[in-house]
Structure 1
Amino acid sequence: MALEEGRAVTRTASATEKLLLHHEEKHFTAGDVVRDVIMGVSDGLTVPFALAAGLSGASAPSYLILTAGLAEVAAGAISMGLGGYLAAKSEADHYVRELKREEEEIVRVPDTEAAEIGEILSRYGLQPHDYSPVVSSLRKNPQAWLEFMMKFELGLEKPEPRRALQSALTIAMAYVVGGMVPLLPYFFIPTAQKAMLASIGVTLTALIFFGYIKGHFTGNRPLLSAIQTAFIGALASAAAYALAKALQAA
């Protein structure tokens, strides 16, 4: 009987091991890249679209709208990319400053920092007898201790070394891709009003598609995200068009 129970336990353990070996957790880990793409494409679709609509409302010729639009896309890509670079660089600098400060505190007031480990773990329902071995182990490993405090006390993740440059390039390229969509009709249609109508159709389609994809990746309802994104783009272009018409009338 005991032998059969032992074999059953062995089979269960073996089956568990196989499940663990074949189990792969699929987590989305490209959140920063998606955020940069969303930022670049959404602004790229909206700002040149509004500019082209505004110039069309002012009865500007198609070639002039295209020239102004391309200049705006170039300037916007540089500006957005630089903004992304500075934001990522600031985050990295902040992490380094906090890392040095935390490292000094571990050396200067180790008992206080060790007590903070207990406070952090107690928030997860652990009792002193549960987390005391963890505290002792971390005190023996200063690097792990430092990483623990950075993540769980300060809520800071170590940034990628090339994050600032990657963010700048991603945002800038996404802005160019988005910005070219509303300008495409002006390449082929010489009449500004006709080109504007085609631009509206193309851009709204792109906004709906982009909003749907954005909702999928950000965890929101894709259809609602598509409607919201298209509405914001349409509102911006309508406001620019109305303002240009009002200035022209004045």
Structure 2
Amino acid sequence: MATRSLADARGAFEAGNADASARAHGAVGTVGINTDSAEDSPLLGRLKADEKHRTGLSEYIQAIIFGGLDGIITTFAVVAAGVAGNLERKTILTIGFANLVGDAFAMAVGDYLSSRAELDHANSERAREAWEIEHDPDTEKKEMVEIYVDKGLSHADAVKVVDLLFTNEDAFLNIMMMEELGIMPQDASVVPWKSAVITFVSFILFGGFPMLAYICAADYNKKADLDEIFGIAVGLLALALFGLGAYKGQVIQVPWWQSGLSMLIVGGLTTVAAYFIGDGLSSLA
């Protein structure tokens, strides 16, 4: 198992500290770390925490971000268009909830079908490559040698690398899939239906934020306007966008405030565009 901390490694690189880089990459016993107490070292403690953090929902970060961001922007687009069109609050809520649930199902189904298709394709190609390795190993090794020669290795070095890799056929197969077909080894812990469910929940959860202000507001027959309720909706939109971005930052290990601000800016520009599109369409009616 690789004994390194990516966060420490990045920090060491930015500081230009070679000793810290060696420690981050787990050079136990070479840079002043007591090997007798390595299990209790702060570095390995942080490593274990990082590994724990990268399990669970963090494996589905793509589904969470796509579902949440699409839910926020899609729902607020309805709210913004309704305000621009001076619709009644109850009409905005009706259209908003119908849009929220319908799009959430569509996103979840699309996520499942695309993930399932990608997985099936990868498994099919892997089975084909495994069959070819079993029945014609020399040709497969020759193809890998050519790939490494194209990458700049001498023919002799490429042969050595391929012969070494071939001692472990599973490893050879994984690398063959990546180098020849551009298909990454499939993570068995990521299940298509789970990804679809997380996409649905993320879409509903984050997409519901912009409508909370109108749910809690009285007088549903009142026509929507650029009033305090809309201002609260904008604030909730900003909170949801920033929170989603901050979570992304935690998972990919960049400053949470930086990731949150980036998400807020990108999502904000999209929702501003949605408002003016709605305003323009209402003026044509």
TM-score category by the smaller chain? 0.7 to 0.9
Distance 1:77 1:102, change over 3 A: same
Distance 1:17 1:211, change over 3 A: same
> Residue 173 of structure 2: which of 141, 146, 155 is its match?
146
Matched, 1:174 2:174: no
**Separation (CA, whole Å) in 2 of partners of 1:221 and 1:19:** 28
Matched, 1:157 2:191: no
8 Å contact 1:117–1:135 — kept in the other structure? no
How far is the alpha carbon of 1:54 from its aligned partner? Answer: 0.7
- Quick check: 53-62 or 210-219, which moved more? 210-219
**Separation (CA, whole Å) in 2 of partners of 1:181 and 1:200:** 9
Report matched runs for 1:93-104 at 5 Å. 93-104=120-131
**Separation (CA, whole Å) in 2 of partners of 1:51 and 1:186:** 12
Look up the match of 1:6: none
**Separation (CA, whole Å) in 1 of partners of 2:88 and 2:252:** 40
Distance 1:159 1:186, change over 3 A: same
**Separation (CA, whole Å) in 1 of partners of 2:272 and 2:188:** 41
Distance 1:19 1:59, change over 3 A: same
**Separation (CA, whole Å) in 1 of partners of 2:272 and 2:181:** 44
Matched, 1:188 2:207: no
**Separation (CA, whole Å) in 2 of partners of 1:179 and 1:51:** 11
- Quick check: 233-242 or 126-135, which moved more? 126-135
**Separation (CA, whole Å) in 2 of partners of 1:108 and 1:249:** 69
Task: Give the letter aligned to residue 207 of structure 1.
Answer: L
Q: TM-score, normalised by structure 1?
A: 0.77
8 Å contact 1:92–1:159 — kept in the other structure? no
**Separation (CA, whole Å) in 2 of partners of 1:130 and 1:16:** 37
How far is the alpha carbon of 1:61 from its aligned partner? Answer: 0.7
8 Å contact 2:54–2:251 — kept in the other structure? no
How far is the alpha carbon of 1:226 from its aligned partner? Answer: 2.5
Which structure has the higher relative contact order (CA within 8 Å, separation 6+)?
1
Task: Give the letter aligned to residue 140 of structure 2.
Answer: E
**Separation (CA, whole Å) in 2 of partners of 1:196 and 1:146:** 56
**Separation (CA, whole Å) in 2 of partners of 1:50 and 1:244:** 8
Q: Which has more helix, going by share of residues?
A: 1
* Unpaired segments ≥5 residues, structure 1: 1-11
Look up the match of 1:227: 261
Q: TM-score, normalised by structure 2?
A: 0.69
Larger Rg: 1
Look up the match of 1:9: none
Look up the match of 1:36: 63
How far is the alpha carbon of 1:204 from its aligned partner? Answer: 1.2
**Separation (CA, whole Å) in 1 of partners of 2:146 and 2:253:** 32
**Separation (CA, whole Å) in 1 of partners of 2:69 and 2:146:** 42
Count of residues paired in the alignment: 237
> Residue 16 of structure 1: which of 31, 35, 58 is its match?
35
Look up the match of 2:5: none
8 Å contact 2:148–2:158 — kept in the other structure? no
The 3-state SS of whatever aligns with 2:185 is: coil
8 Å contact 2:165–2:171 — kept in the other structure? no
**Separation (CA, whole Å) in 2 of partners of 1:146 and 1:215:** 33
Task: Give the letter aligned to residue 240 of structure 2.
Answer: A
Distance 1:128 1:232, change over 3 A: same
8 Å contact 1:62–1:186 — kept in the other structure? yes
Matched, 1:240 2:267: no
**Separation (CA, whole Å) in 1 of partners of 2:40 and 2:172:** 30
How far is the alpha carbon of 1:133 from its aligned partner? Answer: 9.1
**Separation (CA, whole Å) in 1 of partners of 2:244 and 2:65:** 9
Q: Give the RMSD, CA atoms, in angstroms.
A: 3.4
Distance 1:87 1:108, change over 3 A: same
